[in-house]
Amino acid sequence: MPPSVPCSKIENSLCYYAGFSRSPGLNASWRMAYGTDPVMELDNLVQEAMTEYPNNVCFATKLIFVNDNMLVRWLHNQTELTMQRRLHLRGQQIIILQMKVG
């Protein structure tokens, strides 16, 4: 990206985490996409990353809400489990970490 174009907060965060991963000598890069279907966009990003890093491992977070209701379940629609299924069917690795919220 040219230096005259300001980076978004998301891009700054992605640059930070990629740099953090590179500090002990690991290969790292970042990708970003926008779309109406998050699973499709994530799947495309994973395929791009697999081309660059064939022996990679994907990480995802499953949000565990203390106060759960139908709206929360609808908004957080099991994206990580759908990605897990897709990746496992292709023989790719994914680790899902649980995060307690609230």
At 35-67, the pLDDT tens digits run 999 899 999 999 998 898 888 888 898 888 888
Q: Cα(95)–Cα(101) distance, rounded to whole angstroms?
A: 19
Q: Cα(84)–Cα(53) distance, rounded to whole angstroms?
A: 18
Tell me, what's the pLDDT at 20?
Answer: 92
Mean pLDDT of 59-85: 86
Q: Which residues pair with 61 in a beta bridge?
A: 97
Tell me, what's the pLDDT at 102?
Answer: 80
End-to-end CA distance of the chain: 37
| Residue 42 phi, psi dihedral angles, 5° rounding | -60, -40
Q: Record the pTM.
A: 0.74
21: helix, strand or coil? helix
41 burial (CB, 10 Å; 0-12 / 13-18 / 19+) is middle
